[in-house]
Structure 1
Amino acid sequence: MNVRKLLFAAMAVMLSLPAAAQVPDNVVEVGILPGWREADGRHIAGLSIRLAPGWKTYWRAPGDGGIPPIFDWSGSSNVRAVGVHYPVPEVFRVNGVRSIGYVEHVLFPLMIDTRDAAAGIRLNGVVELGVCQEICIPVSFEVSADLGSVGQSSPALIAALEDRAREGGAMRCEVSPIADGLRVTVETDMPPMGADEIAVIEASESGLWISEAETRRSGGTLWAEVEMVPPTAKPFALARANVRLTVLAGGEAVEITGCR
């Protein structure tokens, strides 16, 4: 098992630790922006996470140095499903370890599908986050809000919705077995985004460890390669339609989902 896999295992252990006694006072403030109801019955709200100066939290694919957020909305009323939109994150490197996330504040738009479009919503959630300064701490919060059937527009929430990855073109995948999983290489035609560009590859299978992508370019063609290791530590059937490539650089992002 290499160093990155050991780091992944260490993060998994951290997530099992009790959080309430570990987080210093006044480090994290979590709240719900009520937002508005759309004509199709979907409600747009926001989850605001505000951190003390110098602290950060993480993107959905945080890298080996971060802890991904987990959201549980199962205790809500008049809610069919909740989608979380992730604004474009920043990339950090500390002692040679890369992580991806947000400094001091992030607003996650929530796309809430209702059961009854004309009725109010009782939104109850459990939010689990990793927050870091010099060390990383897993924390858990309960949030709740009553959301009316109308609501009103919010400039901050509109800005967070617009802070999104651009859609890229087609992506090709080459998948080969390795001793404990798969090696996946993706190829796409995409103009260079800058000297600081990085690629992140995600998959829908649960419990996967995915290595940091190794990238190379030839003009406008980008290749990115990762290893994927499931909990069984064996090769597995990859759902190619759900493979997602995100390329980050200079505060911008391009995203492609699905490969052939």
Structure 2
Amino acid sequence: MKRALIPAAALVLCATAFPALAQGQFDNVLKADVLQGWNLPDGRRIAAVQLTLAPGWKTYWRAPGDAGIPPHFDWSRARNLEAVSISWPTPKVHKQNGLRSIGYSDQVIIPMYLTPSTNSKPIRLRSTVSIGVCAEVCVPHQFKLDATLDAPDPSPTPAIVAALADAPYSADEAGVRAATCSLRPTDLGMELEAHVTLPHTGGTEVAVIETGTPGLWISEARTTRQGDTVVAISEMIHPDGGAFALNRSDVRITILGGDYAVDVRGCTAG
């Protein structure tokens, strides 16, 4: 059961900070703003959340790694909001206390495609956001967003445009020629081995595997390059030790390189 205990190390780091958090010591490490954005011809709106972190602090990407805390947006109190699709900018890989985390420092702008329930009405973007912030310690942090998106200017916001451009390349844009996945049972769960054939993305490449199956623990991928192919291996364990199934079309493989990142959606049997 040793591997299954790895995520607990990150939780211990967070738990040690709870007393200080209760005293408000970490209340000012992050500032959140909503960027109004603009309307698209199809009725959707592009807006963004801008997070500004205090010096030395960072926060986490959607797949934060073993030492990170995954972000969560609760949109249940929003108004005239049918759907939200987040476009995450390319994150950085960090090492802390022997564990890897993936996220952002200084400032990050997170664009969102918002689908209104009624096109003729403004969207009230109201959310409770739970994230992790980390410096010497990692602590859970929660803040609220409340903004009415009714600015009439249809012109794109330069800061949001830049953040959209900073998203990982798609498989087609990056010249991915093949993406295969093989599955093997293990004593505790299942192992997934992904092979992605693509040009080198620069420097040390790190692959992140997401399965699309809620609740699974997924180990840090062991990433190597074999010629023109990145090989990434992760183990998956269900939290209650039960059986689970994976759909290869839901597997998402992000390759973070020194020059650029690539987002591969789905894989075939390998």
TM-score (norm 1): 0.93
Out of 177, 188, 203, the residue aligned to residue 180 of structure 1 is 188
Pairs within 5 Å for 1:14-33: 14=14, 21=23, 23-33=25-35
Counterpart secondary structure, 2:263: strand
Q: Distance in 2 between matches of 1:78 and 1:10?
A: 40
Out of 226, 245, 250, the residue aligned to residue 242 of structure 1 is 250
> How many pairs are equivalent?
258
Shift of 1:96: 2.3
Shift of 1:20: 5.7
Q: CA contact under 8 A between 1:65 and 1:98: conserved in structure 2? A: yes
Q: Distance in 2 between matches of 1:95 and 1:12?
A: 13
Specify the code of the residue in structure 2 equivalent to 1:79: L
Q: CA contact under 8 A between 2:202 and 2:260: conserved in structure 1? A: no
Shift of 1:178: 1.2
Assess, with a 3 A threshold, how the Cα gap between structure 1 residues 20 and 28 changes in structure 2: closer, same or farther: farther
Shift of 1:57: 0.3
Shift of 1:106: 0.7
Out of 155, 161, 183, the residue aligned to residue 158 of structure 1 is 161
2:7 corresponds in structure 1 to 8
Q: Distance in 2 between matches of 1:10 and 1:138?
A: 14
Q: Any idea what the Cα deviations from partners look like across 1:50-93, whole Å, max 9, x if unmatched?
A: 11011000011111111111111111111001111110001111
Q: CA contact under 8 A between 1:213 and 1:224: conserved in structure 2? A: yes
Q: CA contact under 8 A between 2:205 and 2:223: conserved in structure 1? A: no
CA RMSD of aligned residues (A): 1.9
1:220 corresponds in structure 2 to 228
Specify the code of the residue in structure 1 equivalent to 2:5: L
Q: Distance in 1 between matches of 2:224 and 2:26?
A: 42
1:192 corresponds in structure 2 to 200
Q: CA contact under 8 A between 1:177 and 1:235: conserved in structure 2? A: no
Q: Any idea what the Cα deviations from partners look like across 1:109-158, whole Å, max 9, x if unmatched?
A: 01101111121111100111100010001011111101116344211011
Shift of 1:164: 1.0
Out of 78, 82, 85, the residue aligned to residue 83 of structure 1 is 85
Q: Distance in 1 between matches of 2:23 and 2:123?
A: 32
Pairs within 5 Å for 1:1-260: 1-2=1-2, 5-11=4-10, 14=14, 21=23, 23-148=25-150, 150-151=152-153, 152-168=155-171, 169=176, 170-260=178-268
Q: Distance in 1 between matches of 2:195 and 2:188?
A: 23
Identity, in percent, stands at: 44
TM-score (norm 2): 0.89
Q: Which runs of no fewer than 5 residues in structure 2 stay unpaired?
A: none
Q: Distance in 2 between matches of 1:47 and 1:84?
A: 10
Q: Distance in 1 between matches of 2:6 and 2:257?
A: 25
Q: Distance in 2 between matches of 1:83 and 1:239?
A: 21
Q: Which runs of no fewer than 5 residues in structure 1 stay unpaired?
A: none
Q: Distance in 1 between matches of 2:24 and 2:201?
A: 39
Q: Distance in 2 between matches of 1:223 and 1:157?
A: 33
Specify the code of the residue in structure 2 equivalent to 1:66: G
Q: Distance in 2 between matches of 1:70 and 1:21?
A: 23
Shift of 1:190: 1.2
Assess, with a 3 A threshold, how the Cα gap between structure 1 residues 23 and 83 changes in structure 2: closer, same or farther: farther
Assess, with a 3 A threshold, how the Cα gap between structure 1 residues 72 and 47 changes in structure 2: closer, same or farther: same
